[in-house]
Structure formats: structure tokens, C-alpha cells
Chain A
Amino acid sequence: MSKKNIKLMQGNEACVEAALMAGMKFFAGYPITPSTELAELSAEKLPRIGGKFIQMEDEIAGIAAAIGGSIAGLKSMTATSGPGFSLKQENIGYAAIAEIPLVIVNVMRGGPSTGLPTSPAQGDVMQAKWGTHGDHAIIALSPQSVMETFDITIKAFNLAEKYRTPVIVLTDEVVGHMREKIEIPEPGDIEIFDRKVPGPGEDYLPYRLEEGDIVPKMAPFGAGYRYHITGLFHDETGFPSNSTDNADIMLKRMISKIEDNREDIVMYDEFMMEDAEYAIISYGSTARTVRNAVKTLREQGMKVGLFRPITIWPSAEKEIKAVGRQVKKIIVAEMNMGQYVQEIERIVKSDAEVFHLGRANGEVLMPIEVVQKAKEVF
């Protein structure tokens, strides 16, 4: 009876399946197209496994409740799209400074504002990094398929727990809504990471980093430990501190816990890059358009390859730099007017010439457009 568990599923459905397998016990949010299936399915499935779903009055309260759930010790998720992602920004910053593990799914649609509710876009890439104010590090992952949505969601929960940080699953309407084959692994076959908690009776300081740990241990709120959480800079006790020395230490630790662990966090994929003289960099559903175009260009004798960042933030700096050194020219293809191309230009510098191919009118990029752009600039 080792029949594989193969299903036809939407990206959004796969995200919920993965979240449950990763240990999600709490979902709070406010439904918005094209992310609504995430709320619907969480509402249906969480109560059956002893979890909780709550629909809040708006997106702000949705993330606030999810933060609360996580502080209480439950793996928590919220999901949204463009306008709701804007509303969640303040609390993403709160989760970052208070170091609360949390998964935020943003199924990107056309913006700004209410924009194009039912159409795909990749216009929230920079917002995922800098949407909340102040210096901070963030993790954002972008899947190109239903199967990868599953894998990435598991990874998102693991990274959130491991690094005590909000993690953004940055998917788009195309991947969220399309149905595709998925093979759901056996629970025993996937690696699940749970946050480290203090032992009973331990002399506990909620923000004290102990030897051998990446982040301070996190006691579930209400479990008997003296505990304070604030969005203000705080010392090891969790109580506010105005000390500039303390702020310096804390901020650097919060950023370096992610930046220094790129090896563990950064995922990427390459297609026909071995002998490539030209590269196209693309992510999410657009990378599938590019993969198709790369095959066409190869048939026509052009040495073109695809580099696909799966981890958008922190960026695959080392690998992208290597691509820049390998090829003469790079096209960055994305469903926006020019966002991740700025990150690529920053990394590649003068090693390669960088071009942009993008659009934000709600239509996906077509393979023929990528082929034409490549022929024009390569």
C-alpha cells in the first residue's frame, strides 16, 4: 500500500495542506481575492485537528491575532493580497522587532490600492522587503508551481521557527489559483522545525541569546515565565530600553541572524546555465514563461539560461554575482514595472549589462515576448 498521495490541487490549497503538515494550529485573517481559499480551507480544516481559525474585522487585526497566537506557542499564519498586505505592514515590523515566528502569505494581484483584484502581478517584491518602516531583515520565498508552494510553505514555517522571524510566502494569482499535480509527502518524510523553548524552572530572560543558539529561546506566553513583549527596542528582559548601545546590539543581532545564515535560507534554481552566455532572471509564475522561452531560444542557437531565485529576500547575492560574471547580458523578467531588477543591478554592478522586461496590467508575460526581448538585446 505504498500508493503515492497524488492530487490535483490549487496553489492556495497546497499552501494550507503544507501549513497543516508543518504544524499550523492557528490562522487569523481577513479574506481577500486571490487569497481567499487560504482562509476558507483553514476555517474548514483547523477545527478538525484541534486548531483555531478566526476571521477578524480587517487585515490589521488578522495579523495582530496571528502574532498573538504565535506568542501563545501555536504555529500561526495569515494570508492576504495587495491591499491587505499594505495594512499588515505595521505588524510585520512588530513581529520583526519582537522576534515572533509567523508566516504571512501574500498572493500578489495587480496594484497599487485595490488595483486589479483578480489579475496576477509581482508588484509587492520591494514592499515585502521594505514595506514596514525601519531597518530589519526579512525572509520572502516565491514559488513557481503548486508542488513548490507546498515545499516552500513547509520551509517558511521552519525558517520562522528557527530564526524567530516573520516569513513571507510571496506567491501570485497564477500559482495560487491554477490546479496542478502535487505529490503530498508522508508526514515522516518532511523535516519539521519547532522553536526552542526554555526548560521548566529555568532562569529565563526572553531576549537573552544563549550559547549555541541562533535566537533566544521562546517561552509560550502564559506558561509561567515573567515575560514582556513590545515594539520598542528592549533589552534581554523584554522591557523597553532607550540605550543606544543596547539598540545597536539588538538590531545587529536581528539582522545578522538572517543575513549570516543565507546558506540555510537561500534557495534558487538554474536551467541551462552551464554554458550560458546570456541569462534571464525570473521568479514565481513568470519563471515558467521564461523557461519556455529559454527552450525556444536554445533551439535557435542562442546560449541563454534561466536563473530563478526561490528565496527573494535575502537575495541569492553570491549566486547572482556569479551569474553576472559568467554572462554578458541579463534580462530580468517580472510582472511589474521594474523592481527586482534593481536588486540584480545592485549585485551585478558592471559585470553584466542588465535589462528589464515587465508589465503590470494584469496580463502574464508571454513566452514570445521574452523571446523577442532576448533577440532584441542579446
Chain B
Amino acid sequence: MSKQTQIRLAGSGGQGMIMAGVILAEAAILDDKIAIQSQSYGPEARGGASKAEVIISSEEIDFPKVIEPDLVLSLTQEATEKYGGSVKAEGLLIIDEDIVLPEGFNQSRVIKVPILRTAKENVGRAIVANIVAVGFIAEFTQLVSRESVEKAVLGRVPKGTEPMNKKALSEGYALAQSVK
């Protein structure tokens, strides 16, 4: 079981957190690992707090849902309040820079990262924040290879947006290197 990493990606509906989860899972599979991606469906799929989950493992995954995430990444205040506390005690909580950590949070490892600003200012489109987040997680955790992540991103994003998403991914990697 310790060979598993459970990841929860949270944000508001439409921010592409499910896509981010799909890319991480796909990259893991390209690396010949085992991965499962799932999400919550429902009204939150349009606005509100939404989440995507990924489990990456070196062995078969029985139970397909995330129970206690090793890593939670959240892009909005609401999502942080809803899902931020689910990260396990020794786990890692990554939140966007403007988020105020809710009271009562005692996670020892919290990192504030300018994911939304990087997408907006360095890439020019807030919509690629999810890809910046993917780059950040991939570099920070080293769970998946850069080659596979790139392949997964380019295979999943809409045609014509490849250069922008590649740039977003690089920005995510750079961001992770700067806080490591």
C-alpha cells in the first residue's frame, strides 16, 4: 500500500482539474506504472468546488478511490475549505498564492504557489492553470517522467493549443524548481 500515491486536485468547475488528473494518470501509464483517475460528478461540474483524483502505484490498485491523499492541490478558496483538510497529516497541501488557509489547519507541509498568476502572466491565459499545476506536481513529486507528461498533455489538449500548453507545462516545471 505504501507504494501508492494518492492525489486530489481541487478547483472550481471548468478549471480543468479533471483534465489535469487524466494527464497525470496517462503519464503514469506511459511510464509503465499503474494509475486510476476518478472524479466527482454532479452540479459542481459547473462552478462550485470540484475535484479529480488520481492514484499512481507500482502495483495493482484494488480500491479505486482516494481515501487519504498524500497530496492535495487546490486552486480556489472554496475548494481548499472543502478538500484541503483531507490531506493526510504527513501529506502535502499545495494551494494557490491568494488562498487564505482556513483556521484549524495543522498540516505541516503547505506550499503556496502562484499557479493562476503564472498561467495568466507568463503564458497569457488563465485557462492553462491546470497544465501549470500538472507541471508543478510532476516536477515536485517526480512521480512521472517529463517525456510522458509532455506526451500526455499534447495528446489530450485541443488541436492548435499545443504550443500554449507546452509553455504552461514548462512554467509549471520552473515553478516547482524555484520552490524546491
Contacts and interface: CB of A to CB of B under 8 A. Distances in A.
Interface stretch (B37-45, B94-102, B162-170): B37-45
A360 B37 CA distance: 23
B64 A8 contact: no
Interface string B14-41: 0000000010011001000011111111
How large, as a class, is the contact surface on chain A? 20 to 34
Given A292-B63, A366-B67, A8 B26 contact: yes
A188 B64 CA distance: 31
Contacts of A295: 62
Contact of B35 (A8, A173, A285, A366): A8
A353 B17 CA distance: 46
B35 A181 contact: yes
Nearest to A173: B41
Contacts of B25: 8, 179
Interface in A282-298: 285, 288-289, 291-292, 295
B65 interface: yes
B152 to A, nearest CB: 8
Interface in A327-365: 364
Nearest to B152: A8
Given A8-B35, A8-B37, A288-B62, A179 B22 contact: yes
A6 B38 contact: no
B37 A178 contact: yes
B36 A34 contact: no
Contact of A288 (B22, B34, B42, B64): B64
A34 B62 contact: no
B41 A33 contact: yes
28 contacts: A7-B29, A8-B22, A8-B35, A8-B37, A33-B41, A118-B41, A174-B38, A174-B65, A177-B38, A177-B41, A178-B36, A178-B37, A178-B64, A179-B25, A179-B36, A179-B37, A179-B38, A180-B36, A180-B37, A181-B29, A181-B34, A285-B64, A288-B64, A289-B63, A292-B62, A364-B65, A367-B62, A367-B67
Interface string A61-91: 0000000000000000000000000000000
B37 A118 contact: no
A159 B11 CA distance: 44
A352 B39 CA distance: 39
A8 B22 CA distance: 8
A285 B38 CA distance: 13
Contacts of A366: 63, 67
A177 B64 contact: no
A364 B65 CA distance: 9
Nearest to A368: B67
A8 B42 CA distance: 23
